Chain A
Amino acid sequence: MNDPKTGDILIHWEETMKKLLKLTSAVALGAVLGTAAVAQELYAPNLAYRTGPFAATGIPLMNGQADYLNMLNARDGGIGGIKINSEECETGYSTEKGVECYEKTKAKAIVTQPWSTGITLQVLPKTNVDEIPILAPGYGFSPMADGKVFQWAFNTPSGYWDAASMILQYLQGQGDLNGKKIAFLHLDHPYGKEPLPLLEKKAGEMGFELVPIPVGLKEMQNQSAQWLQIRRERPDYVVMWGWGAMNAGAITEAVKTKFPMENFIGVWWSGHDADVKIVGEAGKGYKSISWSFPNPDAPVMADIKKHVVDAGLTQSNEEEMSGVFYSRGIIISAILAEGIAAAQAEFGTAEINASQLRWGLENINMTEERIAELGLDGMVPPFSTSCSNHTGHSGGWMLEWDGSKFVKASDHLMPDTSDYAELIATKAGEYADANAPWPTNDACEG
């Protein structure tokens, strides 16, 4: 190491580093100054995950979200005459990156869309201090329905307890659940445990036996032990709360162990076309509850095709666009757009801020007529939110895999919210107590 050459290299290297350092500081300065510039747009960032282990499910959702807002920008010049900047911040589904994205975007953002339960858990208490609405459609924490306690959080149009309630209702319709056995196959993670309090309560009331079967994050792709247990227990139904690789793992394992697919029901995140496509015909009869449905004939799809796909602005493809998850992305953006429009109408300004958007999201009224007006026919059930109800409890449809795509297998199902209104209030109260001082919305009457 003592030859002059190495020394030169090192000194040269040090100089390069110095230059780099200068460059980075200049860049950092530029970033600070750059954010100061005011742009005529609404900044609605999305904490997307197009990389990492969950990318396969993330990409169609993100594409649907982006395409809908891009379509509004191209067709109507945005919402209320102002363009929407739906920039993505990549998290790779990692909580650390998610918080980084939240910090990066919160200064200008009118909304935050955290996307993973882990990120939601971290960001939820912060949004209450930073006063930014958090939009978590169909995920997050079920007690977020209590808008008085969770002023800034929205899990419109349906929460996990709605899903559990609708699934039980559907199963009851197939024959009395009394004396039956339901295996609850779930990811061993805050997300998977979410419906347990309600399922346990209903098991006592309806007289069925609940067998919770957790799947660890490391066992997602190899569930032979869990399915061995299912074979031994011989449950009448298997209800699944799965995500990512766990869905495909469970469905292939169910086919392998010849579990009757018509008795296998997943939550909406377990209804991804690609997961069932792996088994194709063998997956026929597999069901998934959902608050969104792909309708290729809806006017919105034609508009997206005209303004986004033909203009070359999409990252999606034909096959993906016919799937459940892409259309769910569209619905999510449509909910956000409705919230923005409601706030603009109320406050008489196009450039709304975060707290005005909060009002907007609390006053969404998605009637059948409005859904038709937006061109979303048959893609989402009608619902409305209020200051005390941040979920809207839209209900949903039971979807069934027909061998090549999901079709509706039931009429519009509505959850029995009175079943868990008390549970929501208790859990929300517990959360507020644990995080005291936690400001609540006492002005809300509803």
Chain B
Amino acid sequence: MFYRTAGQFKTSYKADQALFPVRQDAILLMVILAFAWVVFPLTASEFTFQTLLIPVLIYALAAMGLNILTGFAGQLSLGTAAFMGVGAYACYKLITIFPWMNPIVAIMLSGIFSAGIGVAFGIPSLRIKGFYLAIATLAAQFFLVWLFEKWAWLYNYNASGAIQVPNIEMAGVWISGPQASSITQYYVVLAVVTIMTILCINLTRGTLGRTWKATRDMDIAAELIGINLMKSKLTAFAISSYIVGVSGALFVFMWRGAAEPNLFDIQLSFRVLFIAIIGGLGSIMGNYLGAILIVGLPVVLNIVPSALGIPISSATVEHLNIMIVGALIIFFLIIEPHGLNQLWRLIREKLTIWPFPH
């Protein structure tokens, strides 16, 4: 009833293959985009920008990059944080070596460095699979973070070993650094994330995406039907690392403002992996749902007691928060092991046929 697809006839192949063949999906997306582009920026406070909107978008983008590799191409990676770090450090070096460079161009270029390193560490995937590959990517994680610590050129020989984002202007507006306003940074992040999402949706629907899925489902069969596994796996590594690298550059330049090497530690890798798994491997929308649950929910839970006037100490709130979020993760995984995206798909299916379950 709410999601009635009856009467929506497709008269051409083009219409049948459209991105959103069901009209309600397109309307829903429009509503979400309107919220993201107009309503949130108009109503959000500084706090909401900095702790909810911007981080959720950036984490969703990182998870989307990982999802290309793990969810679509079936190559488990534990090195996401290191690849984010490569993007961030590359962007920092680009900006400091070429101060005239447009920051958005620098962010986009920094993904290329990350893609190159991703391919290099993806080469073992041609010989090893599954958990063994995870261990190989773990090597990337530890090696790269070690490199960020030891290679002083990367942080311009700064005594503290950390990188600081400079104030950068574009067309008379501060885009990064402490002078930049949250709303500008939000729009930059939103624009990049929107473009990347469109790119990802189309990539995963096209030849490349089908090649990846074939590789994921059974690589020997894929090889037998003529898929070049090397090309398939390495493109997955390259594109995934590119997106992850861009998200890393956004992470530091549009949100954190400063970074020390151990920011890109394995905890961050796991965090992104959890977002991808809870959101749903092999989906695009799941990354957003996962990021909202893992990044957004703790922030909201934190303000609930004080907003309701319940006097609990903030340390207790933090303990409760960890328990509640942990319990929710288990709850969602029991209800739907395939992630929040699958949950949404089921809800949508039920709504389509409602009120006549079959």
- The interface residues of chain A lying within 8 Å CB-to-CB of B162 are 121, 190
The answer to whether the Cβ of B46 comes within 8 Å of any Cβ in the partner chain is yes
The answer to whether the Cβ of B263 comes within 8 Å of any Cβ in the partner chain is yes
The answer to whether the Cβ of A210 comes within 8 Å of any Cβ in the partner chain is no
* B178 and A434 contacting across the interface, CB-CB below 8 Å: no
* A90 and B315 contacting across the interface, CB-CB below 8 Å: yes
* B178 and A435 contacting across the interface, CB-CB below 8 Å: yes
When the two chains form the complex, which single residue of B50, B258, B263, B307 contacts A34, counting CB atoms closer than 8 Å? B307
* B315 and A141 contacting across the interface, CB-CB below 8 Å: no
> In whole angstroms, how far apart are the Cα atoms of A51 and B51 in the complex?
20
Chain B residue with Cβ nearest A3:
B357
- The interface residues of chain A lying within 8 Å CB-to-CB of B166 are 434-436
- The interface residues of chain B lying within 8 Å CB-to-CB of A87 are 314
Q: Which of A96, A117, A196 has the most C-beta atoms of chain B within 10 angstroms of its own C-beta?
A: A96
> In whole angstroms, how far apart are the Cα atoms of A102 and B59 in the complex?
20
Min Cβ gap B304→A in Å is: 6
> In whole angstroms, how far apart are the Cα atoms of A87 and B313 in the complex?
9
> In whole angstroms, how far apart are the Cα atoms of A385 and B160 in the complex?
25
* B314 and A188 contacting across the interface, CB-CB below 8 Å: no
* A10 and B160 contacting across the interface, CB-CB below 8 Å: no
The answer to whether the Cβ of B21 comes within 8 Å of any Cβ in the partner chain is no
When the two chains form the complex, which single residue of B160, B263, B307 contacts A27, counting CB atoms closer than 8 Å? B307
The answer to whether the Cβ of A273 comes within 8 Å of any Cβ in the partner chain is no
* A28 and B314 contacting across the interface, CB-CB below 8 Å: no
- The interface residues of chain A lying within 8 Å CB-to-CB of B262 are 189, 217
CB contacts between A and B, total, < 8 Å: 122
The answer to whether the Cβ of A362 comes within 8 Å of any Cβ in the partner chain is no
- The interface residues of chain A lying within 8 Å CB-to-CB of B127 are none
* A435 and B167 contacting across the interface, CB-CB below 8 Å: yes
* B161 and A190 contacting across the interface, CB-CB below 8 Å: yes
* A50 and B357 contacting across the interface, CB-CB below 8 Å: no
Min Cβ gap B168→A in Å is: 10
Min Cβ gap B324→A in Å is: 13
Q: 1/0 per position for B74-96, CB-CB distance to A under 8 A? A: 00000000000000000000000
Q: 1/0 per position for B250-290, CB-CB distance to A under 8 A? A: 00000011101011010000000000000000000000000
The answer to whether the Cβ of A421 comes within 8 Å of any Cβ in the partner chain is no
When the two chains form the complex, which single residue of A27, A125, A129, A190 contacts B260, counting CB atoms closer than 8 Å? A190
The answer to whether the Cβ of A7 comes within 8 Å of any Cβ in the partner chain is yes
- The interface residues of chain A lying within 8 Å CB-to-CB of B167 are 435-437
* B179 and A129 contacting across the interface, CB-CB below 8 Å: yes
The answer to whether the Cβ of B303 comes within 8 Å of any Cβ in the partner chain is yes
* B307 and A28 contacting across the interface, CB-CB below 8 Å: yes
* B260 and A189 contacting across the interface, CB-CB below 8 Å: yes
> In the complex, which range does the number of interface residues on chain A fall in?
35 or more
Q: 1/0 per position for A17-55, CB-CB distance to B under 8 A? A: 000000010011011101000000000000010110000
> In whole angstroms, how far apart are the Cα atoms of A14 and B3 in the complex?
15
Chain A residue with Cβ nearest B265:
A217
The answer to whether the Cβ of A89 comes within 8 Å of any Cβ in the partner chain is yes
Min Cβ gap A235→B in Å is: 23
**Contact (A95, B263) CB under 8 Å given A88-B313, A129-B178:** yes
A404-446 contacts to B, CB under 8 A, are 427, 431, 434-437
A275-319 contacts to B, CB under 8 A, are none
The answer to whether the Cβ of A222 comes within 8 Å of any Cβ in the partner chain is no
* A11 and B350 contacting across the interface, CB-CB below 8 Å: yes
* A48 and B315 contacting across the interface, CB-CB below 8 Å: yes
> In whole angstroms, how far apart are the Cα atoms of A365 and B346 in the complex?
68
> In whole angstroms, how far apart are the Cα atoms of A216 and B146 in the complex?
9
**Contact (A30, B307) CB under 8 Å given A11-B350, A196-B159:** yes
* A31 and B303 contacting across the interface, CB-CB below 8 Å: yes
- The interface residues of chain B lying within 8 Å CB-to-CB of A348 are none
The answer to whether the Cβ of A76 comes within 8 Å of any Cβ in the partner chain is no
The answer to whether the Cβ of B102 comes within 8 Å of any Cβ in the partner chain is no
The answer to whether the Cβ of B218 comes within 8 Å of any Cβ in the partner chain is no
The answer to whether the Cβ of B47 comes within 8 Å of any Cβ in the partner chain is yes
Q: 1/0 per position for B314-358, CB-CB distance to A under 8 A? A: 110111001000000000000100000001001100100010011
B99-134 contacts to A, CB under 8 A, are none
* A24 and B315 contacting across the interface, CB-CB below 8 Å: no
Min Cβ gap B122→A in Å is: 25
**Contact (A197, B178) CB under 8 Å given A11-B350, A99-B50, A103-B50:** no
Q: Which of A2, A7, A50, A216 has the most C-beta atoms of chain B within 10 angstroms of its own C-beta?
A: A7
> In whole angstroms, how far apart are the Cα atoms of A427 and B159 in the complex?
9
**Contact (A99, B256) CB under 8 Å given A30-B307, A48-B314, A435-B166:** yes
Chain B residue with Cβ nearest A125:
B178
Q: 1/0 per position for A182-221, CB-CB distance to B under 8 A? A: 0000001110011011000000000000000000110000
> In whole angstroms, how far apart are the Cα atoms of A107 and B45 in the complex?
11
> In whole angstroms, how far apart are the Cα atoms of A34 and B306 in the complex?
9
- The interface residues of chain B lying within 8 Å CB-to-CB of A262 are none
> In whole angstroms, how far apart are the Cα atoms of A88 and B162 in the complex?
27
* A121 and B164 contacting across the interface, CB-CB below 8 Å: yes
The answer to whether the Cβ of B28 comes within 8 Å of any Cβ in the partner chain is no
B151-195 contacts to A, CB under 8 A, are 159-162, 164, 166-167, 177-179
The answer to whether the Cβ of B30 comes within 8 Å of any Cβ in the partner chain is no
- The interface residues of chain A lying within 8 Å CB-to-CB of B343 are 10
* B164 and A104 contacting across the interface, CB-CB below 8 Å: no
The answer to whether the Cβ of B149 comes within 8 Å of any Cβ in the partner chain is yes
Min Cβ gap B100→A in Å is: 15
Min Cβ gap A260→B in Å is: 31
- The interface residues of chain B lying within 8 Å CB-to-CB of A126 are 178, 257
Min Cβ gap B281→A in Å is: 18
Chain B residue with Cβ nearest A2:
B358
The answer to whether the Cβ of A353 comes within 8 Å of any Cβ in the partner chain is no
> In whole angstroms, how far apart are the Cα atoms of A412 and B265 in the complex?
42
The answer to whether the Cβ of B27 comes within 8 Å of any Cβ in the partner chain is no
Chain A residue with Cβ nearest B266:
A218
* A31 and B164 contacting across the interface, CB-CB below 8 Å: no
> Can you list 25 residue pairs at the A/B interface with Cβ under 8 Å?
A10-B350, A27-B303, A28-B303, A30-B307, A48-B315, A51-B319, A88-B314, A95-B263, A100-B50, A104-B303, A121-B160, A121-B258, A125-B178, A125-B258, A126-B178, A126-B257, A128-B178, A189-B161, A190-B162, A193-B159, A194-B159, A194-B160, A435-B164, A435-B178, A436-B166
Other CB < 8 Å A-B pairs besides A28-B307, A34-B306, 18 of them?
A10-B343, A10-B350, A24-B304, A27-B303, A27-B304, A27-B307, A30-B308, A50-B318, A90-B318, A103-B46, A103-B47, A104-B51, A121-B260, A125-B164, A125-B257, A126-B257, A129-B178, A435-B167
Q: Which residues of B are at the interface with A, using a C-beta cutoff of 8 A?
A: 45-47, 50-51, 55, 149, 159-162, 164, 166-167, 177-179, 256-258, 260, 262-263, 265, 299-300, 302-304, 306-308, 313-315, 317-319, 322, 335, 343, 346-347, 350, 354, 357-358
